[in-house]
Chains A and B, each alone.
Chain A
């Protein structure tokens, strides 16, 4: 079965903390990888793509290990506004269009 599995959460952290989310995927043929953010009762929004070399966007760092089929997201200096559910997303993409498989998401709660 093709799956994307994430830490169940929720993660409760104080402002300023560093928090890391982990994700594993089962389909070794997966082509591309993303983290989406979803606020309560809102639609998912792309946070960042994840590249094999690792990539950073401000306070957010994503890592991919294809050999271990593992993806991570690191958030530094957490803000209250970072509170949301973070979805790990894998694109099998073999048909020339997106076949996205979403994890269940990990909820982050940042407190003052």
Chain B
């Protein structure tokens, strides 16, 4: 499978615990995005990486959230001290360089987080 891969698919945790998600983008894609989607809503932008550089972070990304892409390949999203409001689908997307304003994003299957 050469698509965007996310792990785990599902995560159940207790409030206050830390969780980490991983995203492996399509291999030749240098752009990587994280989105969050809650029930009945469209995906909301969290953060963007170009290679290993994190170029934009949404105000949705509180100080409990941190994302990394250390070698410009896979990325991790960590949530510390989880809260029930963090329950959502976390989606990763990638795209190749230089596709301009019609850039097409390829999404992974997402990680469904449930905070009890």
- A residues contacting B by CB (< 8 A) are 4, 31-32, 41-46, 49, 87, 89, 91, 93, 95, 97-105
B58 → A minimal CB distance (Å): 10
Is A43 within 8 A of B108, CB to CB? Answer: yes
User: Considering only CB atoms, which chain B residue lies closest to A51 in the complex?
Assistant: B102
A42-B109, A43-B108 known; A93-B101 Cβ under 8 A: yes
Q: List 27 A-B contacts (CB under 8 A).
A: A4-B42, A31-B101, A32-B103, A41-B112, A43-B107, A43-B108, A43-B109, A43-B110, A44-B91, A44-B107, A87-B42, A87-B43, A91-B101, A91-B103, A95-B55, A97-B48, A97-B55, A98-B95, A98-B103, A98-B105, A99-B45, A99-B56, A100-B43, A102-B43, A102-B44, A103-B42, A105-B42
B1 CB → nearest A CB, Å: 13
Q: Is B22 in the interface zone, CB < 8 Å from A?
A: no
**Measured CA separation A101–B42 after assembly (Å):** 8
Q: Which of A31, A43, A89, A102 has the most chain B CB atoms inside 10 A of its CB?
A: A43
Q: For the complex, give the distance between the alpha carbons of A46 and B40 in Å.
A: 19
- Judge if B31 is at the interface, Cβ distance under 8 Å: yes
Q: Which residue of A lies closest to B103 (CB)?
A: A98
Bound-complex Cα distance A102 to B35 (A): 11
Q: In the complex, A100 Cα to B91 Cα: how many Å?
A: 13
Q: Closest approach, in angstroms, between the C-beta of A94 and any C-beta of chain B?
A: 9
A97→B31 contact, CB < 8 A: yes
* Pair A93/B103 contact, Cβ less than 8 Å: yes
Query: Whole-angstrom distance from the CB of B43 to the nearest CB of chain A?
Result: 5
Which residues of chain A have C-beta atoms less than 8 A from B41's C-beta? 104
Closest chain-B Cβ to A99's Cβ sits at a distance in Å of: 7
**CB distance A32 to B109 under 8 Å?**
no
- Does B82 interact with chain A (Cβ within 8 Å)? no
CB distance from A47 to the nearest CB of B (A): 11
Q: In the docked arrangement, what's the CA distance between A45 and B4, Å?
A: 12
**B33 sits at the interface (CB 8 A):** yes
Asked whether B40 lies within 8 Å of A104 as measured between CB atoms, the reply is yes
